[in-house]
Structure 1
Amino acid sequence: MDASSDTAPASPAAAPDPTAPEQIAPGIWYVPFPVGHVYLVRLADGGFAAVDTGVPGSAPAILDALTAIGGSPDALRQIVITHSHIDHMGSAADLVDATGARVLAGAADAPYISGAAPEPPPLTTPKEQALHEQVLAGLAEAGTPPLRHVRVDTELHDGDTLDDWPEPARVLHVPGHTPGSIVLHLPAAGVLFTGDTMGLGPAGPLVLGPLNVDREAAIASFRRLAALPGVDTLCVAHGEPVRTGAARALQEATPEADWL
Protein backbone atom coordinates (compact mmCIF):
# COMPACT_ATOMS: atom_id res chain seq x y z
CA MET A 1 0.00 0.00 0.00
CA ASP A 2 1.20 3.52 -0.85
CA ALA A 3 2.22 5.33 2.33
CA SER A 4 0.34 8.43 1.16
CA SER A 5 -2.97 6.59 0.89
CA ASP A 6 -5.69 7.77 3.27
CA THR A 7 -7.14 4.26 3.41
CA ALA A 8 -6.45 2.57 6.72
CA PRO A 9 -4.45 -0.65 6.43
CA ALA A 10 -6.39 -3.84 6.91
CA SER A 11 -6.14 -5.51 10.28
CA PRO A 12 -3.71 -8.41 10.30
CA ALA A 13 -5.38 -11.75 9.67
CA ALA A 14 -5.97 -13.84 12.72
CA ALA A 15 -3.58 -16.74 13.13
CA PRO A 16 -5.08 -19.98 11.84
CA ASP A 17 -6.44 -22.34 14.47
CA PRO A 18 -3.83 -25.13 14.74
CA THR A 19 -6.57 -27.62 15.63
CA ALA A 20 -9.10 -26.60 12.98
CA PRO A 21 -10.65 -29.74 11.47
CA GLU A 22 -9.90 -30.65 7.88
CA GLN A 23 -12.05 -33.06 5.90
CA ILE A 24 -9.83 -35.75 4.40
CA ALA A 25 -12.49 -38.20 3.15
CA PRO A 26 -16.29 -38.23 3.01
CA GLY A 27 -17.51 -37.99 6.61
CA ILE A 28 -13.99 -38.03 8.10
CA TRP A 29 -12.15 -35.03 9.57
CA TYR A 30 -8.57 -34.70 10.77
CA VAL A 31 -7.99 -32.62 13.92
CA PRO A 32 -4.24 -31.97 14.28
CA PHE A 33 -2.48 -31.66 17.63
CA PRO A 34 1.21 -31.21 18.48
CA VAL A 35 1.21 -34.74 19.94
CA GLY A 36 -1.40 -37.32 18.95
CA HIS A 37 -3.93 -36.32 16.30
CA VAL A 38 -7.69 -36.93 16.58
CA TYR A 39 -10.11 -37.97 13.85
CA LEU A 40 -13.85 -37.27 13.81
CA VAL A 41 -16.22 -39.52 11.85
CA ARG A 42 -19.86 -38.86 11.03
CA LEU A 43 -21.94 -41.89 11.97
CA ALA A 44 -24.90 -43.32 10.09
CA ASP A 45 -27.38 -41.76 12.54
CA GLY A 46 -25.91 -38.27 12.13
CA GLY A 47 -23.88 -38.43 15.32
CA PHE A 48 -20.10 -38.57 15.50
CA ALA A 49 -17.28 -40.78 16.68
CA ALA A 50 -13.84 -39.62 17.80
CA VAL A 51 -10.86 -41.84 17.07
CA ASP A 52 -8.44 -41.10 19.92
CA THR A 53 -8.55 -38.04 22.14
CA GLY A 54 -5.11 -36.44 22.32
CA VAL A 55 -3.27 -35.62 25.53
CA PRO A 56 -5.08 -34.48 28.70
CA GLY A 57 -6.50 -31.00 28.20
CA SER A 58 -7.43 -31.52 24.53
CA ALA A 59 -11.20 -31.91 25.07
CA PRO A 60 -12.16 -28.22 24.52
CA ALA A 61 -10.37 -28.13 21.17
CA ILE A 62 -11.98 -31.41 20.12
CA LEU A 63 -15.44 -30.10 21.02
CA ASP A 64 -14.71 -26.88 19.12
CA ALA A 65 -13.75 -28.98 16.09
CA LEU A 66 -16.96 -30.95 16.43
CA THR A 67 -18.95 -27.72 16.44
CA ALA A 68 -17.06 -26.49 13.39
CA ILE A 69 -18.20 -29.51 11.35
CA GLY A 70 -21.83 -29.15 12.39
CA GLY A 71 -21.94 -31.28 15.50
CA SER A 72 -22.59 -30.51 19.15
CA PRO A 73 -21.33 -32.09 22.36
CA ASP A 74 -24.31 -34.42 22.64
CA ALA A 75 -23.70 -35.57 19.05
CA LEU A 76 -20.48 -37.32 20.09
CA ARG A 77 -21.69 -40.90 20.46
CA GLN A 78 -18.47 -42.91 20.48
CA ILE A 79 -14.85 -42.53 21.52
CA VAL A 80 -12.66 -45.22 19.98
CA ILE A 81 -9.27 -45.43 21.70
CA THR A 82 -6.68 -47.19 19.55
CA HIS A 83 -4.45 -47.87 22.57
CA SER A 84 -3.74 -46.86 26.13
CA HIS A 85 -0.98 -44.26 25.77
CA ILE A 86 -1.55 -40.80 27.22
CA ASP A 87 -1.58 -39.03 23.84
CA HIS A 88 -4.45 -41.24 22.67
CA MET A 89 -6.65 -41.74 25.74
CA GLY A 90 -5.62 -38.54 27.51
CA SER A 91 -8.85 -36.55 27.11
CA ALA A 92 -11.33 -39.42 26.99
CA ALA A 93 -12.59 -38.93 30.55
CA ASP A 94 -13.20 -35.21 29.96
CA LEU A 95 -15.03 -35.93 26.72
CA VAL A 96 -17.23 -38.52 28.43
CA ASP A 97 -18.08 -35.99 31.13
CA ALA A 98 -18.98 -33.38 28.51
CA THR A 99 -20.86 -35.59 26.06
CA GLY A 100 -21.89 -38.92 27.59
CA ALA A 101 -20.17 -40.75 24.73
CA ARG A 102 -19.39 -44.46 25.03
CA VAL A 103 -15.76 -45.57 25.12
CA LEU A 104 -14.59 -48.43 22.90
CA ALA A 105 -11.07 -49.91 23.04
CA GLY A 106 -9.12 -53.08 22.51
CA ALA A 107 -9.89 -55.67 25.18
CA ALA A 108 -6.26 -56.20 26.20
CA ASP A 109 -5.73 -52.46 26.78
CA ALA A 110 -9.00 -51.91 28.67
CA PRO A 111 -7.42 -52.49 32.13
CA TYR A 112 -4.77 -49.83 31.44
CA ILE A 113 -7.31 -47.33 30.14
CA SER A 114 -9.58 -47.84 33.16
CA GLY A 115 -6.69 -47.79 35.63
CA ALA A 116 -7.35 -51.35 36.81
CA ALA A 117 -3.80 -52.40 35.91
CA PRO A 118 -0.50 -50.57 35.34
CA GLU A 119 0.44 -49.98 31.73
CA PRO A 120 3.47 -52.03 30.62
CA PRO A 121 6.47 -49.84 29.76
CA PRO A 122 7.91 -49.82 26.24
CA LEU A 123 11.19 -51.52 25.45
CA THR A 124 13.14 -48.77 23.73
CA THR A 125 16.16 -48.49 21.51
CA PRO A 126 18.50 -45.55 22.29
CA LYS A 127 16.83 -43.47 19.54
CA GLU A 128 13.40 -44.26 20.94
CA GLN A 129 14.49 -43.43 24.48
CA ALA A 130 15.71 -40.02 23.36
CA LEU A 131 12.39 -39.41 21.60
CA HIS A 132 10.46 -40.55 24.68
CA GLU A 133 12.35 -38.15 26.92
CA GLN A 134 11.83 -35.31 24.46
CA VAL A 135 8.07 -35.93 24.31
CA LEU A 136 7.73 -36.16 28.10
CA ALA A 137 9.69 -32.94 28.54
CA GLY A 138 7.46 -31.22 26.00
CA LEU A 139 4.31 -32.33 27.79
CA ALA A 140 5.67 -31.11 31.12
CA GLU A 141 6.71 -27.76 29.62
CA ALA A 142 3.23 -27.34 28.13
CA GLY A 143 1.64 -27.87 31.54
CA THR A 144 -0.29 -30.96 30.46
CA PRO A 145 -2.88 -31.88 33.12
CA PRO A 146 -2.65 -35.22 34.91
CA LEU A 147 -4.10 -38.26 33.17
CA ARG A 148 -7.60 -39.32 34.19
CA HIS A 149 -8.55 -42.93 33.55
CA VAL A 150 -11.92 -43.81 32.09
CA ARG A 151 -14.17 -46.86 31.96
CA VAL A 152 -14.22 -48.83 28.72
CA ASP A 153 -17.85 -49.51 27.82
CA THR A 154 -17.17 -51.88 24.91
CA GLU A 155 -14.10 -54.09 24.63
CA LEU A 156 -13.12 -54.71 21.01
CA HIS A 157 -11.57 -57.84 19.53
CA ASP A 158 -10.04 -58.80 16.21
CA GLY A 159 -12.79 -59.28 13.63
CA ASP A 160 -15.39 -57.13 15.38
CA THR A 161 -17.33 -54.68 13.22
CA LEU A 162 -18.67 -51.24 14.08
CA ASP A 163 -21.91 -51.38 12.13
CA ASP A 164 -23.15 -47.87 12.94
CA TRP A 165 -20.33 -46.24 10.97
CA PRO A 166 -20.88 -44.92 7.42
CA GLU A 167 -19.74 -48.34 6.27
CA PRO A 168 -18.96 -51.33 8.50
CA ALA A 169 -15.64 -50.55 10.20
CA ARG A 170 -13.50 -53.63 10.74
CA VAL A 171 -11.58 -53.89 14.00
CA LEU A 172 -8.10 -55.41 13.71
CA HIS A 173 -6.10 -56.34 16.81
CA VAL A 174 -2.50 -55.26 16.15
CA PRO A 175 -0.44 -56.07 19.26
CA GLY A 176 3.09 -54.86 19.71
CA HIS A 177 2.86 -51.15 20.35
CA THR A 178 0.71 -52.07 23.33
CA PRO A 179 -0.85 -55.48 24.07
CA GLY A 180 -4.32 -54.32 23.02
CA SER A 181 -3.63 -51.90 20.17
CA ILE A 182 -6.34 -51.84 17.51
CA VAL A 183 -6.85 -50.22 14.14
CA LEU A 184 -10.05 -49.55 12.20
CA HIS A 185 -10.34 -50.42 8.51
CA LEU A 186 -13.03 -49.10 6.18
CA PRO A 187 -12.49 -51.35 3.15
CA ALA A 188 -14.93 -49.68 0.74
CA ALA A 189 -13.56 -46.20 1.46
CA GLY A 190 -9.96 -47.45 1.51
CA VAL A 191 -9.36 -45.77 4.89
CA LEU A 192 -7.21 -47.14 7.69
CA PHE A 193 -6.99 -45.57 11.17
CA THR A 194 -3.54 -46.77 12.18
CA GLY A 195 -3.12 -45.78 15.82
CA ASP A 196 0.61 -45.92 16.54
CA THR A 197 1.35 -49.10 14.63
CA MET A 198 2.81 -46.76 12.02
CA GLY A 199 3.39 -43.08 11.50
CA LEU A 200 5.28 -40.63 9.33
CA GLY A 201 8.92 -40.00 10.07
CA PRO A 202 10.40 -36.48 10.07
CA ALA A 203 11.49 -36.85 6.44
CA GLY A 204 8.14 -38.26 5.33
CA PRO A 205 8.53 -42.03 4.86
CA LEU A 206 6.14 -44.35 6.62
CA VAL A 207 7.81 -45.86 9.69
CA LEU A 208 7.11 -48.29 12.47
CA GLY A 209 5.59 -46.53 15.46
CA PRO A 210 8.21 -46.18 18.21
CA LEU A 211 7.99 -47.10 21.91
CA ASN A 212 6.67 -50.64 21.55
CA VAL A 213 6.21 -53.20 24.31
CA ASP A 214 7.07 -55.95 21.79
CA ARG A 215 9.01 -54.81 18.74
CA GLU A 216 8.73 -58.07 16.79
CA ALA A 217 4.97 -58.22 17.34
CA ALA A 218 4.68 -54.58 16.25
CA ILE A 219 6.58 -55.33 13.04
CA ALA A 220 4.29 -58.30 12.36
CA SER A 221 1.26 -56.08 12.93
CA PHE A 222 2.70 -53.48 10.55
CA ARG A 223 3.20 -56.14 7.90
CA ARG A 224 -0.36 -57.36 8.37
CA LEU A 225 -1.67 -53.86 7.70
CA ALA A 226 0.65 -53.39 4.73
CA ALA A 227 -0.97 -56.45 3.12
CA LEU A 228 -4.51 -55.06 3.32
CA PRO A 229 -5.96 -54.51 -0.15
CA GLY A 230 -7.16 -51.16 -1.46
CA VAL A 231 -5.87 -48.84 1.27
CA ASP A 232 -5.85 -45.29 -0.10
CA THR A 233 -5.84 -43.13 3.05
CA LEU A 234 -3.83 -43.65 6.23
CA CYS A 235 -5.18 -41.77 9.25
CA VAL A 236 -1.98 -41.74 11.28
CA ALA A 237 -1.73 -40.24 14.75
CA HIS A 238 1.72 -38.71 14.24
CA GLY A 239 2.61 -36.90 11.04
CA GLU A 240 0.25 -35.80 8.28
CA PRO A 241 -2.44 -38.23 7.08
CA VAL A 242 -1.37 -40.09 3.95
CA ARG A 243 -3.98 -39.19 1.34
CA THR A 244 -2.25 -40.27 -1.84
CA GLY A 245 0.13 -43.12 -2.52
CA ALA A 246 -0.72 -45.00 0.67
CA ALA A 247 -0.48 -48.44 -0.93
CA ARG A 248 2.97 -47.65 -2.31
CA ALA A 249 4.12 -46.17 1.01
CA LEU A 250 3.04 -49.38 2.77
CA GLN A 251 4.82 -51.56 0.24
CA GLU A 252 8.04 -49.54 0.43
CA ALA A 253 8.15 -49.30 4.24
CA THR A 254 10.96 -51.11 6.07
CA PRO A 255 9.75 -51.34 9.69
CA GLU A 256 12.41 -53.90 10.59
CA ALA A 257 15.07 -51.20 10.19
CA ASP A 258 13.29 -48.34 11.95
CA TRP A 259 14.53 -46.79 15.23
CA LEU A 260 17.71 -48.89 15.40
Structure 2
Amino acid sequence: MIEHLVTSGTFSLDGGTWEVDNNVWIVGDDREVVLIDPAHDADAVAAQVADRRVTAIVCTHAHDDHVNQAPELSQRFGAPVLLNPDEAPLWELTHPDRLPDEELRDGQVLSVAGTELRVLVTPGHSPGSTCLHAPELGVVFTGDTLFRGGPGATGRSWSSFDDIIASIRGTLLALPAETTVHTGHGESTTIGAEAPHLEEWIARGC
Protein backbone atom coordinates (compact mmCIF):
# COMPACT_ATOMS: atom_id res chain seq x y z
CA MET A 1 0.00 0.00 0.00
CA ILE A 2 1.31 3.42 -1.00
CA GLU A 3 -0.42 6.53 0.29
CA HIS A 4 0.22 10.08 -0.87
CA LEU A 5 -0.25 13.34 1.02
CA VAL A 6 0.63 16.85 -0.17
CA THR A 7 1.71 19.38 2.44
CA SER A 8 2.59 23.04 1.95
CA GLY A 9 5.17 25.30 3.53
CA THR A 10 8.48 26.97 2.71
CA PHE A 11 11.98 25.99 1.65
CA SER A 12 14.85 28.20 2.80
CA LEU A 13 18.53 28.07 1.83
CA ASP A 14 21.32 30.47 0.88
CA GLY A 15 19.34 33.47 2.12
CA GLY A 16 16.20 32.82 0.07
CA THR A 17 12.79 31.43 0.99
CA TRP A 18 10.24 29.92 -1.41
CA GLU A 19 6.70 28.57 -1.07
CA VAL A 20 6.60 24.84 -1.84
CA ASP A 21 4.24 21.89 -1.98
CA ASN A 22 5.81 18.63 -0.87
CA ASN A 23 4.85 15.03 -1.54
CA VAL A 24 4.69 12.90 1.60
CA TRP A 25 4.74 9.16 0.91
CA ILE A 26 3.50 6.49 3.29
CA VAL A 27 4.35 2.83 2.61
CA GLY A 28 2.91 -0.08 4.58
CA ASP A 29 -0.42 -1.63 5.46
CA ASP A 30 -3.19 -1.17 8.03
CA ARG A 31 -0.84 -2.04 10.89
CA GLU A 32 2.56 -0.46 10.20
CA VAL A 33 4.07 2.15 7.89
CA VAL A 34 7.23 3.96 6.89
CA LEU A 35 6.99 7.72 6.40
CA ILE A 36 9.04 9.24 3.56
CA ASP A 37 9.74 12.98 3.79
CA PRO A 38 6.83 13.91 6.10
CA ALA A 39 7.10 17.67 5.73
CA HIS A 40 5.46 20.88 6.97
CA ASP A 41 2.30 19.63 8.69
CA ALA A 42 2.81 17.09 11.48
CA ASP A 43 -0.90 17.04 12.34
CA ALA A 44 -1.93 16.18 8.78
CA VAL A 45 0.66 13.40 8.60
CA ALA A 46 -0.38 12.03 11.98
CA ALA A 47 -4.04 12.05 10.94
CA GLN A 48 -3.16 10.03 7.84
CA VAL A 49 -1.18 7.52 9.88
CA ALA A 50 -3.98 7.22 12.46
CA ASP A 51 -3.37 4.35 14.88
CA ARG A 52 -0.78 2.51 12.79
CA ARG A 53 2.76 1.89 14.02
CA VAL A 54 5.44 3.99 12.34
CA THR A 55 8.59 1.91 11.97
CA ALA A 56 10.78 4.65 10.49
CA ILE A 57 10.81 8.22 9.27
CA VAL A 58 13.00 8.30 6.19
CA CYS A 59 14.37 11.61 4.93
CA THR A 60 15.58 11.47 1.34
CA HIS A 61 17.73 14.53 2.05
CA ALA A 62 17.99 17.28 4.64
CA HIS A 63 16.70 20.42 2.98
CA ASP A 64 14.42 22.03 5.53
CA ASP A 65 11.24 21.43 3.54
CA HIS A 66 11.87 17.67 3.82
CA VAL A 67 12.97 17.43 7.47
CA ASN A 68 11.26 20.24 9.36
CA GLN A 69 8.69 17.92 11.00
CA ALA A 70 10.86 14.81 11.36
CA PRO A 71 11.78 15.27 15.06
CA GLU A 72 8.20 16.14 16.01
CA LEU A 73 6.83 13.05 14.29
CA SER A 74 9.61 10.93 15.73
CA GLN A 75 8.53 11.99 19.21
CA ARG A 76 4.84 11.43 18.50
CA PHE A 77 5.28 7.94 17.09
CA GLY A 78 8.42 6.75 18.84
CA ALA A 79 9.99 6.13 15.44
CA PRO A 80 13.62 6.68 14.41
CA VAL A 81 14.64 9.34 11.89
CA LEU A 82 16.84 7.89 9.15
CA LEU A 83 19.19 10.05 7.04
CA ASN A 84 22.38 9.61 5.06
CA PRO A 85 25.30 10.98 7.14
CA ASP A 86 26.57 13.15 4.29
CA GLU A 87 23.48 15.31 4.86
CA ALA A 88 24.75 16.44 8.28
CA PRO A 89 25.62 20.06 7.28
CA LEU A 90 22.11 20.62 5.92
CA TRP A 91 20.36 18.85 8.79
CA GLU A 92 22.19 21.04 11.31
CA LEU A 93 20.82 24.19 9.68
CA THR A 94 17.30 23.12 10.70
CA HIS A 95 17.92 20.94 13.76
CA PRO A 96 21.21 21.99 15.40
CA ASP A 97 20.33 20.38 18.72
CA ARG A 98 18.94 17.06 17.54
CA LEU A 99 20.72 14.40 15.50
CA PRO A 100 19.05 11.81 13.24
CA ASP A 101 18.67 8.45 14.94
CA GLU A 102 20.06 6.10 12.29
CA GLU A 103 22.10 6.30 9.11
CA LEU A 104 20.94 5.40 5.62
CA ARG A 105 23.62 3.53 3.66
CA ASP A 106 23.70 2.48 0.02
CA GLY A 107 22.41 -1.04 -0.41
CA GLN A 108 20.64 -1.10 2.94
CA VAL A 109 17.22 -2.75 2.97
CA LEU A 110 14.33 -1.46 5.07
CA SER A 111 11.31 -3.69 5.60
CA VAL A 112 7.74 -2.68 6.36
CA ALA A 113 4.60 -4.80 6.18
CA GLY A 114 6.44 -7.43 4.15
CA THR A 115 7.72 -4.89 1.59
CA GLU A 116 11.42 -4.25 1.06
CA LEU A 117 12.70 -0.72 0.43
CA ARG A 118 16.23 -0.73 -0.99
CA VAL A 119 18.36 2.33 -0.23
CA LEU A 120 19.99 3.96 -3.27
CA VAL A 121 22.34 6.82 -2.43
CA THR A 122 22.18 9.35 -5.27
CA PRO A 123 24.26 12.45 -4.49
CA GLY A 124 23.90 15.64 -6.48
CA HIS A 125 20.88 17.61 -5.33
CA SER A 126 22.61 17.39 -1.97
CA PRO A 127 25.64 15.38 -0.78
CA GLY A 128 23.73 12.39 0.56
CA SER A 129 20.47 12.48 -1.36
CA THR A 130 18.86 9.07 -1.15
CA CYS A 131 16.17 7.19 -3.08
CA LEU A 132 14.15 4.17 -1.98
CA HIS A 133 13.42 1.40 -4.48
CA ALA A 134 10.60 -1.04 -3.81
CA PRO A 135 11.06 -3.71 -6.50
CA GLU A 136 7.95 -5.67 -5.52
CA LEU A 137 5.81 -2.56 -5.89
CA GLY A 138 7.55 -1.40 -9.07
CA VAL A 139 8.27 2.06 -7.64
CA VAL A 140 11.18 4.25 -6.64
CA PHE A 141 10.87 7.24 -4.31
CA THR A 142 13.37 9.78 -5.62
CA GLY A 143 13.04 12.75 -3.29
CA ASP A 144 14.47 15.69 -5.24
CA THR A 145 16.93 13.68 -7.36
CA LEU A 146 14.66 12.99 -10.34
CA PHE A 147 11.41 14.70 -11.29
CA ARG A 148 8.99 14.49 -14.17
CA GLY A 149 10.95 16.43 -16.76
CA GLY A 150 14.44 16.37 -15.34
CA PRO A 151 16.87 16.26 -12.44
CA GLY A 152 16.51 18.16 -9.21
CA ALA A 153 18.01 21.62 -8.77
CA THR A 154 21.77 21.92 -8.30
CA GLY A 155 22.25 25.67 -8.17
CA ARG A 156 22.50 25.99 -4.39
CA SER A 157 25.04 25.16 -1.70
CA TRP A 158 26.08 21.53 -1.24
CA SER A 159 24.84 20.53 -4.71
CA SER A 160 26.52 19.31 -7.89
CA PHE A 161 25.11 19.01 -11.41
CA ASP A 162 27.78 16.50 -12.45
CA ASP A 163 27.00 14.33 -9.43
CA ILE A 164 23.24 14.32 -9.95
CA ILE A 165 23.65 13.36 -13.61
CA ALA A 166 26.00 10.55 -12.61
CA SER A 167 23.50 9.35 -10.00
CA ILE A 168 20.61 9.38 -12.44
CA ARG A 169 22.60 7.74 -15.22
CA GLY A 170 24.31 5.09 -13.14
CA THR A 171 21.65 4.26 -10.54
CA LEU A 172 18.14 5.37 -11.43
CA LEU A 173 18.17 4.72 -15.17
CA ALA A 174 19.44 1.22 -14.43
CA LEU A 175 16.05 0.40 -12.93
CA PRO A 176 13.37 -1.23 -15.12
CA ALA A 177 11.79 1.24 -17.55
CA GLU A 178 8.31 0.56 -16.16
CA THR A 179 9.34 1.63 -12.64
CA THR A 180 7.08 4.39 -11.34
CA VAL A 181 8.97 7.41 -10.01
CA HIS A 182 7.35 9.02 -6.98
CA THR A 183 8.97 12.41 -6.52
CA GLY A 184 9.44 14.90 -3.71
CA HIS A 185 7.40 17.57 -5.50
CA GLY A 186 4.96 17.48 -8.39
CA GLU A 187 3.64 14.62 -10.47
CA SER A 188 4.96 11.08 -10.66
CA THR A 189 6.58 9.70 -13.80
CA THR A 190 8.39 6.54 -14.92
CA ILE A 191 12.02 5.67 -15.54
CA GLY A 192 11.16 4.90 -19.15
CA ALA A 193 9.59 8.31 -19.68
CA GLU A 194 12.63 10.18 -18.35
CA ALA A 195 15.52 8.07 -19.70
CA PRO A 196 15.41 9.36 -23.32
CA HIS A 197 15.94 12.94 -22.15
CA LEU A 198 19.21 12.49 -20.26
CA GLU A 199 21.41 13.97 -22.99
CA GLU A 200 19.03 16.93 -23.35
CA TRP A 201 19.41 17.70 -19.64
CA ILE A 202 23.18 17.50 -19.91
CA ALA A 203 23.23 19.79 -22.94
CA ARG A 204 21.25 22.51 -21.23
CA GLY A 205 22.97 22.00 -17.88
CA CYS A 206 19.81 21.68 -15.80
TM-score normalised according to structure 1 size: 0.65
- Say which of 211, 215, 232 aligns to 2:179: 232
Distance 1:77 1:66 in 2: 11
1:65 aligns with 2:48: yes
The separation in 2 between residues aligned to 1:256 and 1:41, in whole angstroms, is 33
163 and 230 in structure 1: CA distance in 2 versus 1, 3 angstrom threshold: farther
CA distance in 2 between partners of 1:241 and 1:233 (Å): 7
Counterpart code for 1:50: L
Higher-Rg structure is 1
Which SS does the other structure have where 1:168 is aligned? strand
Supply the distance in 2 between the matched residues of 1:153 and 1:225 (Cα, whole angstroms).
Answer: 27
1:54·1:91 contact (CA, 8 Å) conserved in 2? yes
Which residue type is aligned with residue 226 of structure 1?
Answer: L
The equivalences for 1:66-145 within 5 A come to 66-67=49-50, 71-72=51-52, 75-110=53-88, 112-113=90-91, 115=92
Q: Identify which of 13, 20, 25 aligns with 1:39.
A: 25
Which one-letter code corresponds to 2:162 in the other structure?
Answer: E
CA shift in 2, pair 1:85/1:258, >3 Å: farther
Q: Is the 8 A contact 2:23 2:37 kept in 1?
A: yes
Query: Which residue of the partner structure matches residue 28 of structure 1?
Result: 2
- Which secondary structure state, in structure 2, belongs to the residue aligned with residue 172 of structure 1? strand
Are 2:158 and 1:211 equivalent residues in the alignment? no
State how far apart, in whole Å, the 2-side matches of 1:102 and 1:253 are. Answer: 37
| Per-residue deviation, 1:46 | 2.4
Contact persistence 1:157–1:173 (CA under 8 A):
yes
* Corresponding residue to 1:247 among 163, 181, 191: 191
List runs of 5+ in structure 2 lacking aligned partners: 9-20
Distance 1:192 1:76 in 2: 20
Change (3 A) 1:46 1:231: farther
Q: Cα gap change, 1:53/1:210 in structure 2, threshold over 3 Å: closer, same or farther?
A: same
The amino acid that maps onto 1:29 is: E
Cα distance in 2 for residues equivalent to 1:249 and 1:110 = 33
Distance 1:259 1:46 in 2: 44
Read off the aligned partner of 2:160 and give its amino acid letter: D
- How far does residue 240 in structure 1 lie from its aligned partner after superposition? 1.6
Instruction: Quote the Cα distance in structure 2 between the aligned partners of 1:211 and 1:165.
Output: 35
Identity of aligned residues (%): 33
Q: For 2:113 and 2:85, locate their aligned partners in 1 and report how far apart those are by CA, in whole Å.
A: 20
Between structures 1 and 2, the one with greater strand share: 2
Length-normalised TM-score, structure 2: 0.81
Q: Distance in 1 between matches of 2:56 and 2:103?
A: 13
RMSD over aligned Cα atoms: 2.2
**AA paired with 1:187?**
P
Amino acid at match of 1:210: A
Supply the AA of the counterpart residue of 1:168: E
